[in-house]
A = this chain, B = another copy of it.
């Protein structure tokens, strides 16, 4: 067990070595590890090799491991103490595509520390937060423990994947095939956010996700709208008619059975959430909006974290270039995702969506579907013991009580850890709502990166002191 003077030395070392931590993060950020686009497959491999090599310097047996897709990294700390707690840390090195590139203020893979408009120092790059910046807070905390004390304060296995942004389809079989090597007392994930920039948080619920793509086919070729207009069906008309009816005037989703099994929040949690005072002014104004877009009879905080959603993430059909073209296209397509909450079955939601589309197709059109990903919602046990230790450590670092919150985002791997490895997960992260993850100009506050490293150093010490389960 570490003593408190060791922890203080580790924290001092983190402060002294911070410029080097930043340089190591930048080296990772320069690698274009976009998992969605096969043109970047080799960059994904490079990112995995880079990380494995770095983690091996911290006293881990670390290796790049092949999957059916982009590779994963598996690293096990040496010198296991039989009685020590053992955690499984998870992160992902893959990042989202960068388009529309013209909206970036800097090249997305040339990281820099710049000044935010309000004076904050920020790290700008694709992946600065999600998830390279976040995972490096943990790696750097391990490095500091190793540098100062010569060892880690507890046993750690790290598993870092390269397909989180595209649904982890090949990573889950990897977990199953390596379940022995991944044994631990519980899992840690650093891919979530703070409550606000001064208030740390632990995420205790996550929405699930069903992501589907639909392509409507009409004529066997593109048509001239003068010759055929009026007589020939237009697949964009069919697609907009179907997608435009997915929400009713009250902001509710119209798929039959969509809300089956969805429960209201327990009154005590709803009461706590009300005190957090998330308002359109605080949450929507920074992104240029003012009117909550979800169900009209729900609080905004419910709309974004405890209620299911439907979003059209992309749509394309016909002529989209400069000028005009009088075309009736042969096909049109859209990518649609549903955020799910506890009680909803992803398979049923996907089927309800596809049935809905098919029921509305004209008799001479057809629909094709692509299943992009699927994960149920997660509700973690608010009373698990490592949670209390992590909360205490976070509160000490930030000087403010760590909030237990629900997240609107999906981290499907948490369900897989439970199902495949039998592990509960503690979700701690240092992202902020204005980090522009998945958007142009992604950033990570320099403070998030610095105090994130310090937070993990404290959390590792707290876990070493606490009962594991």
Contacts and interface: CB of A to CB of B under 8 A. Distances in A.
Interface of A: 35-38, 96-97, 99-100, 103, 165-167, 193, 207, 209, 211, 213, 218-234, 236-237, 239-247, 283-284, 287-294, 300, 303-304, 307-309, 311-329, 332-335, 337, 339, 362-364, 372-373, 407-410, 433, 436-441
26 contacts: A35-B323, A36-B325, A37-B323, A97-B319, A99-B319, A167-B324, A213-B324, A221-B441, A222-B436, A223-B287, A223-B439, A224-B437, A229-B408, A230-B408, A231-B292, A231-B293, A232-B287, A236-B312, A236-B314, A237-B312, A291-B362, A315-B316, A315-B317, A319-B335, A323-B372, A326-B337
A307 B230 contact: yes
B324 A313 contact: yes
Contacts of A372: 323-324
Contacts of A294: 230-231
A225 B311 contact: yes
A47 to B, nearest CB: 17
B247 A244 contact: no
Contacts of A224: 409, 437-439
A167 B407 CA distance: 50
Contacts of A228: 287, 304, 408
Given A103-B222, A221-B288, A222-B440, 9 more contacts: A99-B319, A167-B324, A221-B440, A222-B436, A222-B438, A231-B283, A241-B245, A314-B320, A325-B335
A99 to B, nearest CB: 7
Nearest to A245: B244
A232 B166 contact: no
